[in-house]
Amino acid sequence: MSETKVRIQDDLYRAVNGAWLETAVIPADRPTAGGFSDLDEAVEKTMMADFAAFAAGEKTSDIPEMKYAVALYKKVLDVDRRNREGIAPVLPLLEKLRKIETVEQLNAQAAELLLQGVELPIQMDVTEDMADATRHAFIVLGPGLILPDTTYYAQDNPAGKQLLAVWTDMAAKALAFTPLTAEEQKQYLDDALAFDALAAQKVKSQLEWSEYYKCHNPQDVDEVAAQVAPFDIRRLLNDLYGEDAPKTLVVYDPKAIREMNGYFSAETFDLYRHWTYVRTLLRSTAFLSEELYALGRTYRRALTGVAADPALEKQAYQTASMAYSEPVGVYYGRTYFGEAAKADVVAMVKKIIETYKLRMHKNTFLAEETKAKAIQKLSAIEIKMGYPDEIKEIWSKLIFDEDSSYFEAMQTIFAIRGRDKLDRALKRVDRTEWLMPGHMVNACYNPSANDITFPAAILQRPFYALSQSASENLGGIGAVIGHEISHAFDNNGANFDENGNLKNWWKEEDFAAFKELTRGMVEQFDGIEFHGGKVSGELTVSENIADNGGMGVTLEIMHTLPDPDYPAYFKNWARVWCQKAKEEYIQLLLANDVHSPTELRANMMPRNFPEWYEAFGVTESDGMYIAPEKRISIW
Ligand SMILES: [Zn+2]
């Protein structure tokens, strides 16, 4: 299909990407092809060549931690050893779990198990305290589920049943590798499924999680302890921290904690212990023999529609770059990201923030004092561009024994990182820390730090190139930058102040006006049919507000360019969202992802802006027209 067959006024996405969509092939080991995915694939290819050269001794890095990453890379590649050892490396841990027969025994070992990556009946983590961004909070929530969301457990959800069958079959095959008798294997599996089904009735849905500011529910440790008994959280905290144990915990999922006896009690303890045995086994397959690796990915392949697993060299690179993400990201940034590009994009971010302020001044639904606070928040945003200047100390401590198996090496790395994470509960927040490594094709806003991060890997074509026109860069990375900044003022971010603290800085009537506009955005997307499913306006509202803000602010900058090219702006916006995806993956995202499908991101947002209508002479008779009174521009 050529660009001329579909009129741009009817379907921007297809007019720009049609020819590509006709011919593009999704790589066998990926759920998608297109914008983000192709860039990611290219970064991976570059880095895999470098890792191969490091491993062969043809190349060295002046980043000391890279030698551990390369050592791990080699462990993954050592399939002779992996295949010879089979399931053996994980057996001591599984045997330890098998012997835990009472809640008392679990309580006595919980701290140790936590650091071994064993799932306890509730999940725990340490993160920034929403109420005071200088400090950390020890958070608690319910257990993770087998299926992607609670909604999959509904009687009338066919995908849920199908996926659970795939998981059950995979787990049964994995259990057959263990020393358990056939009878025990069946019992463990039945109990694991029973525990999961009970937990699914208590934990939050993805829709509930999407309003993340509601996670802040601090409770006294004794209050939490009473709810989660007979699980002894006080003992666990004492074993982890001694006298310094946190006195206040933040309950991220209150119902899952309050009603914990619905899935965990002394009477039903077998369900939990068999569930965690099976989950530990399945998690470990990633680091065992090739056969177990492939088996352990069966469910994930079904979930995403992916046909094949990554080739061995890719597995090795993926594991090493995940385990040593910061040093690998710094290596990528220093090697492939130029200072000229960095300076150029930082200048663009500053320009976008300044333009955002101008728009705040002109805002029609906020009182002056609220505007002033919003502008203060914009002024305080910190920019993290490319990759960090220095590598944090923790990464130099991730040292595993040279003789250890792949599985043992990973356990060592997880344990050191896990302990480091837990220790943070007693420390102040380090604001210079990066949430994303340099080699990641993504970007983010952190409401607790009021900062934005743009890894080096996303600062490439089609998002950005020094050789692209200013209009193209604004439609690409500019709109993404504006998107991330808008998260400071989406339905979640708006609840945090300029220091990243959960605090209401709005006048009541201003917040009500904002809520009203938010409702409009929910309605604009809600119920749109897509691949047999429907978009949830509520689930995707924060991201749609961010896209709306990102487009609004970059179009404002377009007006100030000496030679603005609006068609080029919109075409590059559509190019960035170009994607071909496996049907299973589309359905997975539709039900769980806070982002709208990329095709809709490309085609829905432009119609809210007059520039779109002018750029291509779009009128009432065109597919991408909406009446002026239905157009929304929030920020
Ligand atoms: Zn976003």
Task: State which of 287, 312, 347 marks the end of a domain.
Answer: 287
For 15, the token pair is 């007019």
Flag whether pLDDT at 372 surpasses 60.
yes
The single residue listed with the structure tokens 């029609």 is 364
pTM of the entire predicted model: 0.95
**Residue 605 Cα to ligand 1 middle (Å):** 14
Token readout for 140 is 């608690």
What the block records as the tokens of 182 is: 């056939």
Distance 577 CA to ligand 1 centre (A): 13
Query: What is the CA(341)–ligand 1 centre distance, in A?
Result: 23
The DSSP result for 562-586, as a single string, is SS--HHHHHHHHHHHT-EEE-HHHH
Q: What is the 3-state secondary structure (H, E, C) of 257-325?
A: HHCHHHCCCCCCHHHHHHHHHHHHHHHHHHHCCHHHHHHHCHHHHHHHCCCCCCCHHHHHHHHHHHHCH
The pLDDT tens digits of the residues spanning 1-38 come to: 444 589 999 999 999 999 999 999 999 999 999 989 99
pLDDT for position 339: 86
Distance 487 CA to ligand 1 centre (A): 7
Give the end of a domain, one of 287, 313, 330: 287
Does residue 338 register a pLDDT over 90?
no
Helix (H, G, I), strand (E, B) or coil at 65: coil
Place of tokens 């119902």: 255
Virtual torsion, Cα 173, 178, 179, 183, nearest 10 deg: -40
Pick from 382, 439, 317, 369: nearest CA to 133: 382
In a shared domain, residues 348 and 249:
no
Q: Measured in angstroms, how far is the CA atom of residue 24 from the centroid of ligand 1?
A: 26
Spatial separation of the C-alpha atoms in residues 575 and 567, rounded to whole Å: 12
The number of CA neighbours under 13 Å toward the Cβ of 467 is 3
Residues 465 and 544 in one domain: yes
469/471 Cα distance (integer angstroms): 5
Same-domain pairing of 248 and 386: no
Cα(413)–Cα(325) distance, integer angstroms: 12
Interval 327-347 mean pLDDT:
93
The answer as to whether 176 is a domain residue is yes
* Same domain (yes/no): 142, 263: yes
**Both tokens assigned to 149:** 């969301």
DSSP string computed for 166-181: HHHHHHHHHHTTSS--
The CATH code of the domain that includes 580 is 3.40.390.10
Say how many Å lie between the CA of residue 139 and the centre of ligand 1: 24
- pLDDT at residue 119, rounded to an integer: 98
| Helix (H) / strand (E) containing 549 | helix 541-558
3-state class of 389 per DSSP? coil
The answer to whether the Cα torsion of 98, 103, 106, 108 is positive or negative is negative
> In this structure, are residues 118 and 93 in contact, taking their beta carbons and an 8 Å threshold?
yes
Which of 271, 287, 303 terminates a domain? The answer is: 287
| 312 located within any domain | no
Residues 441 and 552 in one domain: yes
29 belongs to a structural domain: no
| C-alpha span between 78 and 404 (Å, rounded) | 12
User: Which residues are placed with Cβ below 5 angstroms of ligand 1, an ion?
Assistant: 543, 546
Considering the chain, what percentage of its residues have pLDDT values greater than 70?
Answer: 99
- 232 and 137 assigned to the same domain: yes
Can you give the pLDDT at residue 4? Answer: 52
Distance between CA 271 and CA 587 in Å, rounded? 31
393 Cβ neighbours under 8 A, 6+ residues apart = none
3-class state of residue 383 by DSSP: strand
- pLDDT value for 5: 82
| C-alpha 484 to ligand 1 mean position (Å) | 6
* Strand 218-220, strand 444-446: pairing: unpaired
Kindly report, residue by residue over 129-168, the tens digit of the pLDDT.
999 999 999 999 999 999 999 999 999 999 999 999 999 9
Determine the distance from the C-alpha atom of residue 547 to the mean position of all C-alpha atoms in its chain, rounded to a whole number: 17
Q: What integer is the mean pLDDT of 324-352? A: 94
Instruction: Give Cβ neighbours of residue 271 (< 8 Å, ≥ 6 apart).
Output: 191, 192, 194, 195, 198, 263
For 529, other C-beta atoms within 10 Å of its C-beta total 8
- Strands (E) across 111-225 are located at 123-129, 132-141, 218-220
DSSP for 591-623, please give it.
Answer: HH-SSPPHHHHHHHGGGGSHHHHHHHT--TTST
In a domain, 593, yes or no: yes
Within a domain: 234: yes
Alpha helices in 466-540 (DSSP H): 470-473, 479-486, 508-525
What pLDDT score was predicted for residue 487?
Answer: 95
Please compute, for residue 234, the number of CA atoms within 13 A of its CA located in the half-sphere on the CB side.
11
For residue 154, how far is its CA from the centre of ligand 1 (angstroms)?
Answer: 29
Nearby residues of 365 by Cβ (< 8 Å), 6 or more positions away: 510, 513, 514, 517
The answer to whether 139 touches 127, Cβ cutoff 8 Å, is yes
Which residues are tagged catalytic? 484, 547
Identify whether residues 273 and 354 lie together within a single domain.
Answer: no
199 and 344 both lie in a single domain: no
Is 324 part of a structural domain of the chain?
A: no
Assess whether 565 and 626 both reside in one domain: yes
Number of domains into which the chain is organized: 2
Residue 251: CATH number of its domain: 1.10.1380.10
CA distance 163 to 170: 11
pLDDT digits (tens, 9 = 90+) for 169-194: 999 999 999 999 999 999 999 999 99
Give the closest residue to 13 by CA, choosing from 612, 468, 564, 477: 612
Give the distance (Å) from ligand 1 centre to CA of residue 199.
29
Q: What confidence tens digit (pLDDT) does each residue in 399-450 have?
A: 999 999 999 999 999 999 999 999 999 999 999 999 999 999 999 999 999 9
Kindly give the distance from the C-alpha atom of residue 608 to the centroid of ligand 1, in angstroms, as a whole number: 18
Measure the CA–CA gap between 393 and 395, rounded to whole angstroms: 5
Examine the domain organization and report whether 279 and 344 are in the same domain: no
Q: What is the DSSP string of 437-483?
A: -TT-S--EEETTTTEEEEEGGGSSTTT--TTS-HHHHIIIIIHHHHH
Integer Cα distance of 154 and 436 in angstroms: 35
Whether residue 229 lies inside any domain: the answer is yes
Cα atoms in the Cβ-side hemisphere of radius 13 Å centred on 147: 29
| Counts for the chain of helices (H) and strands (E), in that order | 28, 11
**Token reading at 80:** 């002779």
**What pLDDT digit, counting tens, does each position of 76-100 carry?**
999 999 999 999 999 999 999 999 9
Whether residues 280 and 346 fall in one domain: no
DSSP one-letter code for 147: S
Alpha helices in 324-445 (DSSP H): 325-336, 339-362, 368-380, 406-423
My answer on whether 607 and 465 are in the same domain is yes
- The per-residue pLDDT of the chain, averaged, comes to 96
Range of the domain at 538: 338-392+430-630
Query: Is the residue at 420 inside a domain?
Result: no
